[in-house]
Structure formats: structure tokens, C-alpha cells
Amino acid sequence: MATRQPIPITHAERVIDAASGVTKGELVDYYERVAPSMLPHLKARPVALVRAPEGVGGELFFQKHAAAAAMDGIDLLDPALDPGHEPLLVVSAPRGLRSAAQMNVVEFHTWNMTTRTIPRADRMVFDLDPGEGVAWPEVREAATLVHAFLGELKLQSWVKTSGGKGLHVVVPLAPRHDWQAVRQVARAVVVRMAAVVPQRFVAKSGPRNRVGRIFIDYLRNGWGSTTAAAWSARARPGLGVSVPIDWSELAQVESGAHWTVRNVEPRLRPGQTAWDGFTASRQTLTRAMKALDFEPTETT
């Protein structure tokens, strides 16, 4: 293998988050250490990058297309995958994390489809966002209820902290259904949960609907919709990290930003096994569709 010069990092000493004092160099080091765990979550998956050129308190730039290119280890995808747009991006090598961080990228968000599955989704995502006045234990409990309900539908799910305020529940899928069907099933799940436990869940977005309740966002399942990838740092004060956890660990997790760039180190190694089984899972939505009396409707 040819040896490469490491991508040079400029202004490594610059503090990018006033709250924690984390520097650009520390973020680069974090991505270096986490690369082996993180790359499988990025493989062949269109990625959107959140850049924070002035640090976490400054303006953030969300980039899905080639404008962000010219980063070593980040490749352009075939424009035919997303017709009418600039080519999508993919992190194709560990050094892509480093070159992105050099360009002030803090967050990596991924699609629910890979280059091999488009337009079929290979996962379904439920984003649990606490509304105002919802205490953390209720968010945990909500995730557990979603987990149990999905289990009733014979769907295995995995959970990760968002690195921000909430939790992401993820259902891996064999790429059999197109993304429209997956989004409709996700919606059906959320509507059903809001009907069964209305004191806890709300299926409608908007802060007023959410007060005291948890909005389970199924819109993360649309075409081109993205969710922060496992192990991504977040461009928020404290620089939380999205950590894949085991359901049995949830009770000990104290917030969506339980782990941060600063404290995640001891978690990196066990963190790799928490989602064992996720990629190997080959489940489909067929039984869930039956149980939900699901009728696919015309999609847009």
C-alpha cells in the first residue's frame, strides 16, 4: 500500500466550542480514533456535512452536494442517483473524516439508502425529540415503548443517542421496499403510538403540539432526508456525540448528549459491539404492514 502524507491540519489550536474549550485539533483527533467504528456507518451512504467555520456558536452550513468536494477521502457519487442535483457525497476512506474536519466539518449526516439500494431504503429511522417540559426519563421510556411496539411488529430496532437533545431509534431493513413505503410505514407506526399513548406521544410536528409530549419524527424517512450518523460529533455547545448503545444501557444514559468529544474515549471500544447484529439484520416490513393494516397509497 502506498503511504500517504497525513492531511495537514491548520489552526489546530483554535477553540471551536467555547462551552467545552475543545479545539479543532481535538476534534480531528476524535475523528481519527473513531474512524474504524464510524466508517461502517458511512459506507456507500450519501452523506451531508455540517460545517462550522466560526465554531459551534457561529453560522452552520449544511452541505449535501459537490460544493463541499475536493476533500481527500470524500468521493462524488454518480449524478444519476439524485437527478437534477450536483453529485452527492460519500465518505469513502477514514482520511475523509480528517480532511472534512480540516474543512471545519463537525457533523456527518447520512441517508437511509445506500448507492446499492437507492431508491429502496435499508433502514427506517424514528427521531425522538422531547417537547418543552418533557423530562429525560420520559424520553428514555418513550424509546423503550417504540422498541416494544416495533418488537410487536416483529421488527428489531437499535438505539443511539443523538448527541443533542434526544434519541434515534433505527430499524435496519433488507432493501426491499422503496423509501416511500418505508416512510408510510414509519408514519403508520407513529400514528398508532400516538393513538395508543396520547398522553406521551404526538404524531404532529410543531412546538405547540409537543408541549409535555414527545414528537416521534418519521419524516426522517423521506427522499434525501438525513440523520446524524452514529459517532458523529454535534455542532452544539459541549460537542455531544451520537453513540450507538445497547437497549439494556439506556437506563444509565442521562441525556442525548451523555457522551461528548471529551468524555467518549472509554466508550469507543465497547461501543463497537452495541450494534452487533444491526448490519446483519435482513428483516422486511411485510409482517409489520399486515399488522398495521397498511395499504400503500399514491406517493409524491
Taking the complex as a whole, the smallest distance from the CB of residue 17 to ligand ATP amounts, in Å, to 15
Q: Does 166 bind Mn ion (CB under 5 A)?
A: yes
- Smaller CB distance to Mn ion: residue 20 or 227? 227
Taking the complex as a whole, the smallest distance from the CB of residue 228 to ligand ATP amounts, in Å, to 4
Q: Which does 228 bind (CB under 5 to 8 A by kind): Mn ion, ligand ATP, none?
A: ligand ATP
Count of residues that bind Mn ion according to CB under 5 A: 3
Contact (Cβ atoms closer than 8 angstroms) between residue 163 and residue 155: no
Please report the sign of the dihedral spanned by the C-alpha atoms of residue 20, residue 21, residue 24, residue 26: negative
Q: 78: which residues sit within 8 A by CB, 6+ positions away?
A: 87, 115
Q: How far apart are the C-alpha atoms of 61 and 111, rounded to whole Å?
A: 18
How is residue 65 annotated by DSSP? B
Provide the binding-site residues for ligand ATP, judged by CB under 6 A: 62, 109, 127, 129, 162, 164-166, 220, 226-228, 256
Please report the sign of the dihedral spanned by the C-alpha atoms of residue 149, residue 153, residue 154, residue 158: negative
Taking the complex as a whole, the smallest distance from the CB of residue 257 to ligand ATP amounts, in Å, to 8
- Smaller CB distance to ligand ATP: residue 166 or 244? 166
Contact (Cβ atoms closer than 8 angstroms) between residue 284 and residue 173: yes
Taking the complex as a whole, the smallest distance from the CB of residue 237 to ligand ATP amounts, in Å, to 12
Give the x/- contact pattern for Mn ion in 111-130, rule: CB under 5 A: ----------------x-x-
Give the x/- contact pattern for Mn ion in 70-109, rule: CB under 5 A: ----------------------------------------
HSE at residue 7, side-chain half, CA atoms within 13 A, is 20
> By three-state DSSP, how is residue 93 classified?
coil
- Smaller CB distance to ligand ATP: residue 144 or 284? 144
Q: 30: which residues sit within 8 A by CB, 6+ positions away?
A: 233, 241, 261, 264
Taking the complex as a whole, the smallest distance from the CB of residue 294 to ligand ATP amounts, in Å, to 24
- Smaller CB distance to Mn ion: residue 26 or 129? 129
| Residues composing the chain | 300
Q: Does 163 bind Mn ion (CB under 5 A)?
A: no
> By three-state DSSP, how is residue 170 classified?
strand
- Smaller CB distance to Mn ion: residue 166 or 244? 166
Q: 267: which residues sit within 8 A by CB, 6+ positions away?
A: 243, 259
Facing residues of 167 across strands? Answer: 128, 161
Name the residue with the smallest CB distance to ligand ATP: 164
Taking the complex as a whole, the smallest distance from the CB of residue 8 to ligand ATP amounts, in Å, to 29
Give me the residues that bind Mn ion (CB under 5 A), please: 127, 129, 166
